[in-house]
Amino acid sequence: MSGDDSSNDSGIELSRRTFAKATGAAVGAGLFGASADTVSADHPMDRKFANPRVQELAKVWDRGYRGSNDNALGLTDSGIDARHPDLGPWNGVEIVEDDGGFALKDRNVDFVRDSEKTHADEETVSPASTTGTTTVELVTLTPDAKRSHASATMTWTPSPRPSGNEANSLDLLFQCEVEGGWETVAETGTSREVEELTDVPLEADTPHRFAATGDLSTVSELTITARTYDRMPAGLLGSEIDPFSVGPDEAKTIGWFNAGSRYGNSPKPRDPDGHGSHCASIMGGSGRASEVTREVETSGETRQLQFGNTVDVDVFVDDGEAGVYASAYGDSIEIDISERGPRGETVASSTISSDASTNDNNTVSVPADPDEAYTVTIRPASTEESDAIAQGLNGVGRVDSYSVGTFADPPGTTGDRGSDTQVALHSGVAPDAPLVGLQGLSGPIPFLGEYATEFSETFNLRAVNMSWGYVGGLPLGAAGGASGDVFGDVVGGIRDMAEQGILTVAAAGNAATPANGNGAPAVADETISVVATGPKDGISGYSSGGIGAVDDGEDGTYMKPDVTAPGGTLDDLVTAAEADTDYSEFDTDTGPQDYTGKAGTSMAAPFTSGVAGLVADAMEDEDPEGNNKSILNSTAQSGINDTFRLKQVILATATETVFTAAPYHRAKSPSCQGGGRDPFEGYGRVNPDAAVDAVTRNVYGGGDSLTNDEFSPDDADEPVTSSYGVTDSDGNELTVGLDVPQDNRAVAGYVEAPRGVLDLTVSAGNLRGADVSMATGAPQVDVFVYDGENPGPNGVPNVVAQGTIDATSGVGARRGSLTLTVDTGEEFDLGRRDEVDTRTLFVVAKLVNIPGLVNGFDARTDIEFRASFTPEFEPLPGIDVSGERFDSGDRFTANARNTVRVDLNSADVTEGRIYDRVPADWTVTDDPDDPDTDYEGEVRTEGSHEIIDLGPFGEDDATDGTSRIYAVEAPDSNGSYTFGPARIEVTDDDPAQRGVQAPTADGEGSFTDDNDSDDQDDGDVEITFGGNDPRNVVVGGTSAGSGSDTTLSGSTDDTTDSAADTADDTASGDDGSLTDTVDDTL
């Protein structure tokens, strides 16, 4: 595909904007010809007056996700005007192709120095013997070819003369040797105490010198520091530029690529068309130019406006303010902003045919200077009766509520980048995400694909928006992706990007026909193809979709589109940043700060790209409870699986709109797919809040993770149950409803579980809201469980379980429930504790229908999650241990010494520690520092016994055997006491020889936590050997074997233990025999 994206006779490579112009006046004017200015919201203003985009996204921002300022979002388009406060400032980093490779250029620095060499000298100079000029040679040099330029700084004392006083005055000269002497190449004489020459060109292999000349009145000390170097263009490959740290603080656009296209070849981020800037603003605009600083007047009183009746508000712009806005809800109204006075000129307005929305708030704004005065007027949509009749209006407008105020001056604002108290009306979806602009529509795709790794590592690029494509899409049977076809480079480049973890989001197209396919880039398997909707989720009539395209490269069919998102309609445009498209102004750094309205799938795609940025941020982050729920690798390590995981979350949390938006669909007829792909709306309307919640809201235990709980085999028949009710851990209600964008269309969360059976019960009920009396049936809520880590082919949702909450019992039954069962170990081996495999599941409850009501009505229902988990365990391979233990005897007097020897004959491990089990009433008499003892000085209590640490053993000990000796002193009272069994603790890092999923009960043959001071299984396994040895203490009696280390009695034990052993392991050992064995199996 050609890099300049120019159209040809077949209609290939037209932007969405160009296409609209080419398909007739009705479509062209309606989708892209009409524009309107809108305004922004701030802390003093109720958020309901903000742009509907801001109203919807505020729910996500309030959860702490505004886009990561470490992960960039990109777009290939007509450009990006980084002079607009919402899109700038630019950090000065330009992306270039240098010697056929990826490189960066820092435009903040024109040149850098390479191969630098320093020359310094100090001289004491006396005045000339006679009146005249003194000249002194300071530094001489003969540069080689590696050094092309020189600079020098000269200082001297006494300092130059002050004004009107006689003192030393010197000039700095740079001279080149010529035949017969020295020729001055450059000089400076400022009469200051420091003289400098910078970037003076050198001639290789020719002598040069720095010299001082002037009138000296006294002896002077001169110091010069000169440097020679190669002067290279700044920022080329290998210059170690970090785009996140160069340029102005809080830079917004952090990279600019322009390989030359029909949009010009500007070295700075500019946009001669305006389309790219508008899309970038939707995707990630900061809202700095529309941050409300003062609300002048607001009202919630409903007023009827007849012809001639208006609501007028005067606004005086104060210092530190830079604009005036108005936002109003009502019916058949328009807003004008005029310069104040009897002949005040109207400087901004909205009408029914532009931005006087029929479904949401009507907004208008204008940039303004301090000390200017304006009048905001709200009036019926037509002041002429004949016009009203022609438009089908009754001549009456209704104002329900309005807000009028001023914007802050952008240099002092942050918009919605990171503040909870400063909200802007026209912010983008991910206001804190940095932007990378690539000018040229399809032109940059081959470069992006070839250097996807560099883009990912340098800019941490997660998603790229492409709001352009092929006119009319491609009909069924047309080639979609074979290499060598007209757009194979685009599809191939998108695949290369996906393999490096970069997700492509593309506009489905504006074919304006009932059924047509998607063209590239939207058609690519790896891409999210986006259809446009109006404010109440109805599919815009111009959107492409309906049939697929043949994928010659894969012998299949591209199934598109994927989702829908707000793209606007003829009477409800999408408001975002307006670029300055005047080429003659491109060199200036003063740019626009106004907004305009457009409509198209071009506007729907960047909405979804912004959502991808928010979700990627959430998937990398810890959840609100501090658990690391990342199922995305870092950008530098990401691959195609990460791309598809991110894509799946967006598709899986989208909602079908067959019923909820039924009256708003224009020329499209989606059908209910039960979670599958519809040919017109894909998987449904994108839901930013549900998508973020799916990866951050833990629906088990209100925030506890199942992987943090200890389960033993005894729990196998004991389900662990928890509920996550009508509010989440932050106090947010879990509801789904029809009053969008304030209501949620879906609620979602995740469960991370080890091997077991998970029962998820979801209930819906308590239908409430002002319009519920109009409902003719109970809400229908579909529930889905998705495999969060293993999406389906090309990132489509991988459904593990699904169902519909029963609503068959009529209007009176306002609540129902559904239980879905998932065997989390069905396809996974989750046996070992140190590498506990868990399964991350997304749970999504989607509102499908409230019979009798549609979007825009005030009706919602509560959602409650309840999780019940039953753990499962599997036996692990056995570990063979052979050993024995001996005591000095079997009967002791009070305070007698018992010398104990523990023999480990062999063990199926490479390393570990040896322990013995001693009655708590016996006293260890060994000194840990005594070289004749193996007692390590560490004792821990275990019930009525103590566990004595006899030190580590290695692989040779495990093979050839080893012995450990210690001594204990008997108590001074009669009694029978049991020693042993001895045990080893396996500390081998080999997962096949480490601990189990959870500890079993303590005791012989058990596998226990190696640290009884906490409640966590530390991943090590303890295996007993040597049996139990009863020993008696008789006060006043005679010890049997007392004091003898050679006549030891005890037991031997050849043990094979399974890491999930639950047997009641015992060994007699009572007769002192050396032949007793214990065979432990599950």
Q: Which structural domains are found in the chain, ordered by start?
A: 47-59+292-409 (2.60.120.380), 67-97+249-286+429-620 (3.40.50.200), 111-233 (2.60.120.380), 697-871 (2.60.120), 878-1058 (2.60.40)
Lowest mean pLDDT among 41-50, 305-314, 1004-1013: 1004-1013
Residue 81 pLDDT exceeds 70: yes
pLDDT of 474 > 90? The answer is no
- Would you state the pLDDT for residue 924? 87
Return the HEC string of 583-628.
HHHCCCCCCCCCEEEECCHHHHHHHHHHHHHHHHHHHHCECCCCCE
- What integer pLDDT is reported at residue 645 of this predicted model? 95
* 653-669 tens-digit pLDDT: 999 999 999 999 987 88
* Cβ burial 427-465 (10 Å sphere, 16+ → b, else e): bbbbbbbbbbbbbbbbbbbbbbbbbbbbbbbbbbbbbbb
Please compute Rg for the chain using Cα positions: 39
How much is the average pLDDT of 567-571? Answer: 84
DSSP states along 1012-1039: TTSSS--S-EEEEES--EEEEE-TTS--
End-to-end CA distance of the chain: give it in Å, rounded.
66
pLDDT at 26 over 60: no
Q: Is the pLDDT of residue 12 over 90?
A: no
pLDDT for res 406? 95
DSSP, collapsed to helix, strand or coil, labels residue 640 as helix
The tens digit of pLDDT for each residue in 288-318 reads: 999 999 999 999 898 888 877 899 999 999 9
Q: What value does the mean pLDDT take over residues 833-837?
A: 44
Residue 18 has pLDDT above 80, yes or no: no
Of 818-822, 883-887, 965-969, 1048-1052, give the lowest mean pLDDT range: 1048-1052
Report in angstroms the alpha-carbon separations of 4 from 121, 262, 320, 963: 56, 5, 42, 81
Q: Which of these ranges, 138-152, 168-182, 622-636, 868-882, has the smallest mean pLDDT?
A: 622-636
What pLDDT does 929 receive? 67
Q: Is the pLDDT of residue 679 over 70?
A: yes
Q: Which structure tokens are listed for 864?
A: 């409650």
Mean pLDDT of the chain: 77
pLDDT at 2: 29
State mean pLDDT over 552-564.
71
Model confidence at 460: pLDDT above 90: yes
pLDDT digits (tens, 9 = 90+) for 181-208: 899 989 887 767 788 888 888 888 899 9
Give the pLDDT band (50/70/90) at residue 1058.
very low
> What tens digit of pLDDT does each residue of 901-921 get?
999 999 888 888 999 999 999
Angle at which helices 52-61 and 601-620 pack, to 10 degrees? 10
| pLDDT interval class at 1064 (50, 70, 90) | very low
Q: What is the mean pLDDT of residues 39-53?
A: 73
DSSP 806: -
Q: How many CA atoms lie within 13 A of 860 on its CB side?
A: 21
Residue 880 confidence (pLDDT) above 70: yes
Structure tokens at 691: 């998508």
147-151, 193-197, 642-646: range with highest mean pLDDT: 642-646
- d(CA 1065, CA 1080) in angstroms, rounded, equals 7
Q: What is the Cα–Cα distance from 689 to 780, expressed in whole angstroms? A: 20
Question: Which DSSP state fits 31?
Answer: I
* pLDDT in the model for residue 309: 86
Residue with tokens 């508000």: 313
Q: To 5 degrees, how large is the angle CA 496–CA 472–CA 610?
A: 50
Q: Average pLDDT for residues 698-703, to the nearest whole number?
A: 62
**pLDDT surpasses 50 at 132:** yes
pLDDT at res. 418: 76
CA atoms within 13 A on the CB side of 31: 30
Judged against a pLDDT cut of 80, whether residue 889 lies above it is answered with: yes
* Element at 975 (helix H, strand E): strand 975-979
